[in-house]
Amino acid sequence: MLKRINKLPFELLSPQSTGVIGPYTKPIAYVSPGDEIEVETWDCYGGAVKPGQTRQQAVDRGIKLPANPVTGPIFVEGAEPGDVLAIDILGIKMPERGFTSLRQGVSPIGLQVEQAKTRFSEIIGNRIHYVTDKGRTISLEADPFIGTIGISPLSEAISTITPGSHGGNMDCPDIQTGARLLLKVNHKGALLSLGDVHAIQGDGEICGTAVEIDAVVRLRLNIIKGSNITWPHIETLEEIMTVCSARPLEDAARLAYRELINWMVADYGWNRDDAQILLSLVAKARIAQIVDPQYTVVAKLDKKYLKE
Amino acid sequence: MLKRINKLPFELLSPQSTGVIGPYTKPIAYVSPGDEIEVETWDCYGGAVKPGQTRQQAVDRGIKLPANPVTGPIFVEGAEPGDVLAIDILGIKMPERGFTSLRQGVSPIGLQVEQAKTRFSEIIGNRIHYVTDKGRTISLEADPFIGTIGISPLSEAISTITPGSHGGNMDCPDIQTGARLLLKVNHKGALLSLGDVHAIQGDGEICGTAVEIDAVVRLRLNIIKGSNITWPHIETLEEIMTVCSARPLEDAARLAYRELINWMVADYGWNRDDAQILLSLVAKARIAQIVDPQYTVVAKLDKKYLKE
Amino acid sequence: MLKRINKLPFELLSPQSTGVIGPYTKPIAYVSPGDEIEVETWDCYGGAVKPGQTRQQAVDRGIKLPANPVTGPIFVEGAEPGDVLAIDILGIKMPERGFTSLRQGVSPIGLQVEQAKTRFSEIIGNRIHYVTDKGRTISLEADPFIGTIGISPLSEAISTITPGSHGGNMDCPDIQTGARLLLKVNHKGALLSLGDVHAIQGDGEICGTAVEIDAVVRLRLNIIKGSNITWPHIETLEEIMTVCSARPLEDAARLAYRELINWMVADYGWNRDDAQILLSLVAKARIAQIVDPQYTVVAKLDKKYLKE
Amino acid sequence: MLKRINKLPFELLSPQSTGVIGPYTKPIAYVSPGDEIEVETWDCYGGAVKPGQTRQQAVDRGIKLPANPVTGPIFVEGAEPGDVLAIDILGIKMPERGFTSLRQGVSPIGLQVEQAKTRFSEIIGNRIHYVTDKGRTISLEADPFIGTIGISPLSEAISTITPGSHGGNMDCPDIQTGARLLLKVNHKGALLSLGDVHAIQGDGEICGTAVEIDAVVRLRLNIIKGSNITWPHIETLEEIMTVCSARPLEDAARLAYRELINWMVADYGWNRDDAQILLSLVAKARIAQIVDPQYTVVAKLDKKYLKE
């Protein structure tokens, strides 16, 4: 049976409910392990920026833009602190268009922006029609993923614009259809929230936005007892990955590699030094984003190297 | 005609000659633009660590390990400050084995090393036979590249272990056969030096070494007048890339993306804001290394997006 | 009239109440602007580490150490979002002893710790009797200050070990008797919490602890309407200061200087460039701590330069 | 006997001679240990910016501004690699004026500069008459120090704008009259160079310049055999200090504290853990600058705590 979880109406979005991930927000849905669910999500501004409009025009009309409003919390029956929540991403349905916004001032990579822009791109099938200033249309292959997904910390309520060990705004393109995301449960029921889906994003998300969309995300949730992880893990058919967020960026990379080594030791019987050497030879790393309050790096290892 | 440039004998390696890249070292060869050359290079310790031996045993025997000794400087006739030196990498011949070394103490990613190790791997054809502590052989596909390659700064003599705008120890796997590396000329003759070839390396080179090899590298050098770059550029059939080195790591990423945007503006007619937005959607970034005195990031754009 | 606000009993300390600063915790006291209050505070472990005992022994006895438990929230009548809360620190009463703890593993500055230590120092009058491993007593002059003091963010509940624009665990020795601390109000009633008093601390707090004490702090609270600040400000008879927390440390310093320039422009009529030049000649900066989740820098200007 | 060492004439300043500190520059003077010398130094632009003129006007007139030209190298007889060079600063004679320059663009702390400025200040006795945009004169007490002072690395030639373990452009106000600076000798004769004296500077030197002056510096040089330091040390009557340069800034602070602990262990018999704890209670740290290619932190300990 497929359970549908709708997003809250725009009028009910608020910093204290849909603007944080934490233990103080009342669950909006209860699901059982193994259930397949469909979750409706808002785009990063709660749909407040309309096609044909710029972000600035919405602000000028007195609209208070919600920041990365999430759908949730979803209470997972049986999830207890110390467990791991396994989230299988089964599908992401995209809308007919998404937008990209470049804000006035100094951009995240240190460039003076000549002209603030909000640009809508049509999404047709799996293609994104991106139109440049000069009117040229570039067809991009969509690669949709969940930008913000996380579960409650023990006691903190963390802004939905911040990533961390609880997940959150990781902006990590590897959290896509076919992947399993693993998060350490800190609170009874896990309290999962998600939103901020991107139709496509480059490494670093350097102008601060991707192709921002609302979406419907299909998931299956399971609880794993007796596992032990610190930071988010991702598993696909081909790879194991760890996702760590920190500043400066090298600290995010170091944490991600240490977590990956711990995984190799715990689940695949490697000794630590050997794991470190192998990663020095064959690991991949992705800079997910360098624009949020903590920066995110994904460390990856092809599973073919793991089999003993 | 193929010109061969031999490496100096081990006895002549010295910090002041083969340990720096700068204007104070006398050229060992003169080549003309368009010449195809074959350059013999040392491994990162000048061959001082022998098969069956550990790095520490070499040190204990009183051998002073050279640090990334380079072959050069090679004087390119006609190269003047303000020009760009284009280096086409035509081939890299690997030896029969390479080594990987993990040093005692706290590793670059912050792990206490249980046991210092120097591990030799056989290279057969294009496969590297890496043997784990437990005696398992893992066959890795070689992906050889030039770890250290650079030209003289205007006045500094920079250690061959440091990367920078002059190139140097970038440890960037994209500097491989088929690529063209572009460096800004600061000194008459350019004064090219290279060494430290790696048979394979993971993103970050996290244990501090890759599969370290001596090699014979085939190159063609050309001079481009009237171009304007600040940091190293790489061009392949598919991509344009920029290679920047700094600390913290986010500064290297920001510099690489700014340089890539400058390239799009100068050579492909993009406006700056538009280039920044496109990269936010489709760019790729590689963490080349986080173990040298400056950290290195490569920003990349698929050429298919460039064509107007 | 002096109002006394007691700390919660140890049994009631919890991560969700005394372990975070945020809008979800019920006030424990209500005060009026102008009131003088006396607030009892816990030491950084809630008194769980007893004299003669080490931190590790407390942990081994199964005690869950609270992390920086605070006393609060204190609701200030009339405080509204957009106001500034002015906190005059009138006095700090120290107990008879405090402790310093160095934990096993790699210390925050990267040194392998030979032996974990918890060391109690007697406090007699204004002197701290610190005894070295070799049994030598060094008499330190106490310089007590409030390590953790902050008010509720708009929607986040932030761990009491983290500093930020809301204040929190700044570990800033300038927040001492005689100083006025100014914090931007985000939530009705401001919701002030404090704890983690230090009898003395060096710049950086490099081993992770200072001389940690419980204390009784006397304060007067006032509300300032129509002011505009982003980060915590401090004012004394001699200086104006700003306190910013970020990573890497240079970002904390840059933020603190920018906030100080804003202050000079807003309240003292300087133009921005001129303020920046003057600070380049005469400003002082303090590294408060480099051991918490964000690092803290204080930028300072002697008031004698401000008078027009 | 007082030996005078003159600066080179402006026409002879060049990037390869006075623009780097390294082993490739021919000594301009030879001195014996114990000699008192007087060294003439250039300001940071070699005097090219004249009173009444702005930096930009000098550039527009086609003058190539030298970057931190130094006077040297001075060969110290008997200095061998492994020794320590002790430099006693006996006096600094200031000229009648100095200048401060704020450049166009984004300033080092991230502010858009409204108007580039070069501002000359009169120096009368020990007072600096700084005049604001609004015509107000502020009298600053001069606190002159040597901004750039260093000795040759083993093989690198380092730009005079960069600080490091060899000294260089540390911009550290503690290198002033009455202090003894200690530098590790890497090259026969030590090869001392200096320049870039500042009449006064705030912590961080945030606009990129201080009150920049040419000067005459009186020094006495001595060689200490059998000592062992890695980074520059400073000793005064009251304090011992270490000066480390790195990025990010926290790495400079960590290095400085580790070097200070090493000093306490080596020369004062402390054990390492105990030294680390004491510094956590009483150490001071100064942010010297956050504008050069490496950032500089000074860690300090009052000598009264050292005596056993």
Q: Is A62 exposed, middle or buried (0-12, 13-18, 19+ CB in 10 A)?
A: exposed
Please state, as a whole number, how many other Cβ atoms lie within 10 Å of the Cβ of residue C265: 14
Q: Where are the alpha helices (DSSP H) in chain A?
A: 55-60, 249-268, 272-282
Residue B9 has pLDDT above 70, yes or no: yes
Please state, as a whole number, how many other Cβ atoms lie within 10 Å of the Cβ of residue D120: 22
* Residues D8, D12, D15: CA angle, nearest 5 degrees: 105
Q: Does any CB of chain C come closer than 8 Å to the CB of residue D246?
A: no
Q: Over range A156-168, report the average pLDDT.
A: 98
Is B248's CB within 8 Å of D247's CB? yes
Under 8 Å CB-to-CB from B218, ≥6 apart: which residues?
A: B2, B36, B37, B38, B39, B89, B90, B91, B92, B93
Q: Residues C74, C78, C82, C88: what is their CA dihedral angle, to the nearest 10 degrees?
A: -60
What mean pLDDT value characterizes chain D? 96
Cβ atoms of B195 and B160 closer than 8 Å = yes
User: How would you classify residue A88: left for phi > 0, otherwise alpha for psi between -120 and 50, otherwise beta?
Assistant: beta
Please state, as a whole number, how many other Cβ atoms lie within 10 Å of the Cβ of residue C21: 32
Q: What is the C-alpha to C-alpha distance for residues C189 and C196, in angstroms, rounded to an integer?
A: 22
Residue C57 phi, psi (nearest 5): -65, -40
Please state, as a whole number, how many other Cβ atoms lie within 10 Å of the Cβ of residue A225: 10
Please state, as a whole number, how many other Cβ atoms lie within 10 Å of the Cβ of residue B40: 16
pLDDT band at D308 (very low <50, low <70, confident <90, very high): low
pLDDT computed for residue D55 by the predictor: 87
* Residues C286, C292, C294: CA angle, nearest 5 degrees: 75
Q: Over range A149-165, report the average pLDDT.
A: 98
Q: Over range B38-57, report the average pLDDT.
A: 93
| Long-range contacts (CB closer than 8 Å, 24 or more residues apart) made by B126-134 | B128/B98, B128/B199, B128/B200, B128/B211, B130/A278, B130/A281, B130/B100, B130/B211, B132/A270, B132/A274, B132/A278, B133/A271, B133/A273, B133/A274, B134/A271, B134/A274, B134/A308
Cβ burial C66-83 (10 Å sphere, 16+ → b, else e) = bbbbbbbbbbbeebeeeb
Q: What is the C-alpha to C-alpha distance for residues C181 and C86, in angstroms, rounded to an integer?
A: 6
Q: Does any CB of chain C come closer than 8 Å to the CB of residue A249?
A: no
| B106: nearest Cα among C111, A233, D69 | C111
Q: List all chains that touch chain B, counting a touch as 3 or more CB pairs closer than 8 Å.
A: A, C, D
Under 8 Å CB-to-CB from A212, ≥6 apart: which residues?
A: A43, A44, A45, A98, A99, A100, A101, A196, A198, A199
Q: How much of chain D exceeds pLDDT 90, in percent?
A: 89
Cβ atoms of A200 and B281 closer than 8 Å = yes
Q: How much of chain A exceeds pLDDT 70, in percent?
A: 100
| C68: nearest Cα among C253, C289, C247, C286 | C289
Which token pair is A189?
Answer: 């029921």
pLDDT band at D227 (very low <50, low <70, confident <90, very high): confident
Q: What is the C-alpha to C-alpha distance for residues A165 and A242, in angstroms, rounded to an integer?
A: 10
CA atoms within 13 A of residue D85's CA, in its CB half-sphere: 35
Under 8 Å CB-to-CB from B61, ≥6 apart: which residues?
A: none
Is A273's CB within 8 Å of B100's CB? no
| A205: nearest Cα among C140, B150, D255, B279 | B279
Q: What is the C-alpha to C-alpha distance for residues D91 and D38, in angstroms, rounded to an integer?
A: 9
| A156: nearest Cα among C292, C294, C157, C163 | C157
Under 8 Å CB-to-CB from C135, ≥6 apart: which residues?
A: none
Q: What Cα–Cα distance (Å) separates residue B135 from each residue in A29, B131, B243, C188, D209?
A: 51, 6, 37, 65, 60
Under 8 Å CB-to-CB from B174, ≥6 apart: which residues?
A: B145, B234, B236, B241, B243, B286, B288, B298, B300
Q: Does any CB of chain D come closer than 8 Å to the CB of residue A114?
A: no
ω into residue D73 within 30 of 0, thus cis?
A: yes
pLDDT digits (tens, 9 = 90+) for D268-285: 999 999 999 999 999 999
Taking the CA of residue D112 and the nearest CA in chain A, the distance in Å comes to: 9
Cβ atoms of A54 and A120 closer than 8 Å = no
Taking the CA of residue B180 and the nearest CA in chain C, the distance in Å comes to: 35
* Residue of chain D with shortest Cα separation from A250: D248
Q: Over range D71-98, report the average pLDDT.
A: 98
Q: What is the C-alpha to C-alpha distance for residues B61 and B185, in angstroms, rounded to an integer?
A: 41
DSSP A33-98: TT-EEEEEE--TTTT-S-TT--HHHHHHTT----SS--EEEEEETT--TT-EEEEEEEEEE--SEE
pLDDT digits (tens, 9 = 90+) for D159-180: 999 999 999 999 999 999 999 9
Which token pair is D105?
Answer: 């663009």
**Tens-digit pLDDT profile for chain C (308 aa)?**
789 999 999 999 999 999 999 999 999 999 999 999 999 999 999 999 999 888 888 888 888 899 999 999 999 999 999 999 999 999 999 999 999 999 988 899 999 898 899 999 999 999 999 998 888 999 999 999 999 999 999 999 999 999 999 999 999 999 999 999 999 999 999 999 999 999 999 999 999 999 999 999 999 999 999 888 999 999 999 999 999 999 999 999 999 999 999 999 999 999 999 999 999 999 999 999 999 999 999 999 999 999 75
Residue B55 has pLDDT above 90, yes or no: no
Q: How much of chain C exceeds pLDDT 70, in percent?
A: 100
pLDDT band at A54 (very low <50, low <70, confident <90, very high): confident
Strand A29-31 relative to strand A71-76: parallel, antiparallel, unpaired?
Answer: parallel
Residues listed for chain C: 308
pLDDT digits (tens, 9 = 90+) for B200-224: 999 999 999 999 999 999 999 999 9
pLDDT band at B308 (very low <50, low <70, confident <90, very high): low
Cβ atoms of C30 and C20 closer than 8 Å = no
Q: List all chains that touch chain D, counting a touch as 3 or more CB pairs closer than 8 Å.
A: A, B, C
| Mutant choice from B21, B156, B161 vs D, greatest count of D C-beta within 10 A | B156
Q: List all chains that touch chain A, counting a touch as 3 or more CB pairs closer than 8 Å.
A: B, C, D
Residue D101 has pLDDT above 60, yes or no: yes
Cβ contacts (< 8 Å) between D248 and chain A: which residues? 248
Strand D127-131 relative to strand D167-168: parallel, antiparallel, unpaired?
Answer: unpaired
Cβ contacts (< 8 Å) between A157 and chain C: which residues? 20, 22, 24, 155-157
| Mutant choice from C106, C109, C250 vs B, greatest count of B C-beta within 10 A | C106
Residue B53 has pLDDT above 90, yes or no: no
Which of helix, strand or coil describes residue D120?
A: strand
Please state, as a whole number, how many other Cβ atoms lie within 10 Å of the Cβ of residue A23: 22
Residue B300 has pLDDT above 70, yes or no: yes
State ipTM.
Answer: 0.96
Nearest to D140 among C113, C248, C281 (CB): C281
Q: Does any CB of chain B come closer than 8 Å to the CB of residue C113?
A: no
pLDDT digits (tens, 9 = 90+) for C75-112: 999 999 999 999 999 999 999 999 999 998 889 999 98
Q: Is A52 exposed, middle or buried (0-12, 13-18, 19+ CB in 10 A)?
A: exposed
* Residue of chain C with shortest Cα separation from A158: C156
Under 8 Å CB-to-CB from C184, ≥6 apart: which residues?
A: C82, C83, C84, C85, C165, C229, C230
